[in-house]
Amino acid sequence: MHTTRATTLAIVETLTEQQLTMLKELEQEAFGVHGAIDEWVLVPLARHGCLILFQEEGDAKPVGVCELMRDFRNPDHVYMYGYLIRSDKKGLGYGFAFLEQILDRLRKDGFAKVCLTVSPDNKGAVALYQKAGFQIVETRIAEYGSGNDRYYMEKSL
């Protein structure tokens, strides 16, 4: 990482109005109109899933956000619903550092496998996940409707 400031993981169970606004803005910036989530998803994920913020010392805005859901069919599996690094922090090593801390936490929590979907066009994200040990299992055509194909990726913990 190119910075010397300390980073921490914060698992959030409730969100303030300010946090909701900030997270919605980060989502919009990262995923645009067709992929960003809002308070109708953020609040249930925080309360009933797992919402992780990657915080850098002295910065009120999270550097990264990860949204996780347990798989009901395979309770030792977790689905990475969303993962983002703030645009002004990309290319500085935060993405891999955050992902490694998440995976370590999931291992300690007893999960056996992590899965996710990612656009094949998002070359940076695909490379990041592969660097962390994720494998492309299949390509899902029109996963989110016409023109929205996704790689389905998995990593055993």
Q: What is the pLDDT of residue 73?
A: 95
Q: Which helix H or strand E contains 81, and what residues bound it?
A: strand 77-85
Domain range annotation of the chain: 7-115
Domain 7-115: assigned CATH number: 3.40.630.30
Contact 100, 45 (CB under 8 A): no
Q: β-strands 113-118, 77-85: how paired?
A: parallel
User: What is the average pLDDT across 133-157?
Assistant: 96
**Structure tokens, 60:** 């009120």
Q: Tell me what pLDDT residue 3 has.
A: 52
- Note the pLDDT tens digit of each residue in 73-130: 999 999 999 999 999 999 999 999 999 999 999 999 999 999 999 999 999 999 999 9
Predicted structure pTM score: 0.91
State residue 37's pLDDT score: 87
User: Which amino acid is located at 138 in the chain?
Assistant: E
Task: Give residue-wise pLDDT tens across range 13-68.
Answer: 999 999 999 999 999 999 887 778 888 899 999 999 999 999 999 998 999 999 99
CB burial of 5-19 (b: ≥16 within 10 Å; e: otherwise) equals: eebeeeebeebeeeb
Residue 25: alpha-carbon gap to chain centroid = 15
Burial class (CB in 10 A: 0-12, 13-18, 19+), 138: exposed
pLDDT at 4: 52
pLDDT of residue 27: 92
